[in-house]
């Protein structure tokens, strides 16, 4: 955790009345978001389009900041609710929107078709037929789509897998040509390309490039049947390190390798889409919560904080801890024998009436006292919005913007 962020959090918990009365918050460092986007801009190929996967963090200030960079072509959404948020953020055109995800309802499809967003990523024949029927009823000539394909390749080395195995995502590669034959005959559907998102949280760029090579072979094969494919949407995939080891995804090497593969397959004239969320905002977020009690029970100490999995569900949901830091606040003891932590292994748990309410566990803490602040870094993506915020009706964590 850098000094600027630590100083800001300490100041908020010391003097900001709103934070002091609700001692849990998320802090988003906009400079870190800019640094990530600028890094992509420095190495990105001209025919690669970057979209922000707003499911990672739908905070309005975060979205506006992301969209302020000309490197970002638009937003990837997974619901009409997200489309409405994107519009409120100042998105200048629905043509800058991609709609992905399984289980799109007819109501959602009707709304995005009326809005004339850029692409709908089609997950099945049923979805394609629904789109075609809605377009017919709405008097819309054609809807541009990308077909999502569950490629027969298991991308090992990720934190979450969405292809190469039996999932609800996309059209199975083994039946792609059979399904394409049906979809291609739909009057109001224009297939512009493929969506091939396979896995998320990859730190080794070579893993993604090997998958890309497999995808390109499939596309070459498919083009013999379907004709030229203009767009390949890779989804996300770039990972961030949830340890203190400081590992980073090598964007420079990735784009150099992608360029090599494009030339190998003569794909230089295609557009490649990246839908990045976690990579852009994940490392820019910090979850901070005050220690309200420290207990010792059956030989182990427990740090109890004002917020738990109701505010920060990702660690326990993924069985992956975030880096933990303690900000010392120097709060006087309430009584002489008050328990503290000194170079000990503890669980860090919230206020919920359940033993699973842990934001970290088996955590080696050098020093902690009641009144100090626990900070979990790498908390900018899939944290606030993916938590059980209303469970037990505790106060919601504040969301603060560090410029």
Per residue, the 3-state secondary structure of 72-94, as one string, reads EEEEEECCHHHHHHHHHCCCCCH
Amino acid 71: pLDDT: 97
**Segments making up each domain of the chain, as ranges:** 3-27+283-402, 30-281
On whether the CB atoms of residues 156 and 210 are closer than 8 A, the answer is no
Is the predicted pLDDT of residue 213 greater than 50, yes or no? yes
Whole-prediction pTM: 0.94
Is the predicted pLDDT of residue 42 greater than 60, yes or no? yes
Cα 328 to Cα 80, 343, 365, 371, 373, distances in angstroms: 43, 14, 12, 8, 7
Residues 76-91: tens digit of each pLDDT: 999 999 999 999 998 9
On whether the CB atoms of residues 381 and 36 are closer than 8 A, the answer is no
Give the highest mean pLDDT range of 13-17, 132-136, 159-163.
Answer: 132-136
Is the predicted pLDDT of residue 60 greater than 70, yes or no? yes
Helix (H) or strand (E) holding 3: helix 3-15
118: its two tokens: 């850029």
Collapsing DSSP states into helix, strand and coil, what is residue 65? helix
Beta bridge partner(s), residue 143: 189
Residues 341-385: tens digit of each pLDDT: 999 999 999 999 999 999 999 999 999 999 999 999 999 999 999
- Least confident stretch, 100-109, 196-205, 218-227, 299-308: 196-205
**Rounded CA gap, 116 and 403, in Å?**
34
On whether the CB atoms of residues 303 and 348 are closer than 8 A, the answer is yes
**Rounded CA gap, 52 and 73, in Å?**
8
Amino acid 168: pLDDT: 76
Find the distance separating the first CA and the last CA of the chain, reported in whole Å.
16
Cα 350 to Cα 68, 310, 382, distances in angstroms: 36, 8, 18
Cα torsion angle, 66, 69, 72, 73, sign: positive
Is the predicted pLDDT of residue 160 greater than 60, yes or no? no
CATH superfamily of 3-27+283-402: Lyase, Ornithine Decarboxylase; Chain A, domain 1 (2.40.37.10)
DSSP strand pairing (143-150 vs 189-195)? parallel
On whether the CB atoms of residues 379 and 26 are closer than 8 A, the answer is yes
Is the predicted pLDDT of residue 281 greater than 60, yes or no? yes
Per residue, the 3-state secondary structure of 136-159, as one string, reads HHHCCCCEEEEEEEECCCCCCCCC
Alpha-carbon torsion angle 201, 38, 12, 316, nearest 10: 0
Is the predicted pLDDT of residue 158 greater than 50, yes or no? no
Q: What share of the chain has pLDDT > 90, as a percent?
A: 90
CATH architecture of the region 30-281: Alpha-Beta Barrel (3.20)
Amino acid 36: pLDDT: 97
**Rounded CA gap, 393 and 103, in Å?**
29
**Rounded CA gap, 230 and 89, in Å?**
30
316: its two tokens: 């326990």
Amino acid 68: pLDDT: 97
Indicate the length of the chain as a whole number.
403
Is the predicted pLDDT of residue 104 greater than 50, yes or no? yes
């Amino acid at each position: 955790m850098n000094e600027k962020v630590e100083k800001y959090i300490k100041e908020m918990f010391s003097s900001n009345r709103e934070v002091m009365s609700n001692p849990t918050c998320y802090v988003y460092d906009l400079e870190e978001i800019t640094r990530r986007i600028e890094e992509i801009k420095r190495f990105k190929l001209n025919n690669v389009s970057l979209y922000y996967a707003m499911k990672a963090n739908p905070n309005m200030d975060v979205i506006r900041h992301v969209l302020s960079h000309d490197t970002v072509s638009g937003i990837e959404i997974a619901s009409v609710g997200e489309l409405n948020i994107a519009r409120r953020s100042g998105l200048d055109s629905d043509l800058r929107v991609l709609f992905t995800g399984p289980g799109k309802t007819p109501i959602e499809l009707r709304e995005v078709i009326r809005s004339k967003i850029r692409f709908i990523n089609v997950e099945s024949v049923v979805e394609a037929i629904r789109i075609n029927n809605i377009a017919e009823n709405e008097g819309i000539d054609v809807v541009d789509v990308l077909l999502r394909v569950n490629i027969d390749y298991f991308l090992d080395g990720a934190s979450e897998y969405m292809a190469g195995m039996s999932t609800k995502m996309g059209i199975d590669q083994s039946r792609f040509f059979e399904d394409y034959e049906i979809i291609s005959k739909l009057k109001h559907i224009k297939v512009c390309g493929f969506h091939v998102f396979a896995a998320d949280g990859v730190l080794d760029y070579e893993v993604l490039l090997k998958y890309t090579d497999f995808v390109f072979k499939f596309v070459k094969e498919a083009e013999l049947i379907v004709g030229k494919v203009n767009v390949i949407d890779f989804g996300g995939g770039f990972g961030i390190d949830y340890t203190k080891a400081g590992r980073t995804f090598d964007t420079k090497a990735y784009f150099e390798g992608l360029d090599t593969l494009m030339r190998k397959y003569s794909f230089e004239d295609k557009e490649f889409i990246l839908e990045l969320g976690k990579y852009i905002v994940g490392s820019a977020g910090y979850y901070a919560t005050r220690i309200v009690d420290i207990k010792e029970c059956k030989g182990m100490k427990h740090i109890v904080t004002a917020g738990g999995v109701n505010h920060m569900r990702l660690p326990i949901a993924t069985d992956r801890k975030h880096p933990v830091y303690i900000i010392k606040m120097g709060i006087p003891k309430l009584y002489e024998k008050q328990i503290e932590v000194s170079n000990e292994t503890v669980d860090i748990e919230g206020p919920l009436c359940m033993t699973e309410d842990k934001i970290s566990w088996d955590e080696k803490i050098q020093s902690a006292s009641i009144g100090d602040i626990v900070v979990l870094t790498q908390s900018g993506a899939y944290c606030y919005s993916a938590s059980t915020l209303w469970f037990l009706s505790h106060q919601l964590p504040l969301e603060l913007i560090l410029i």
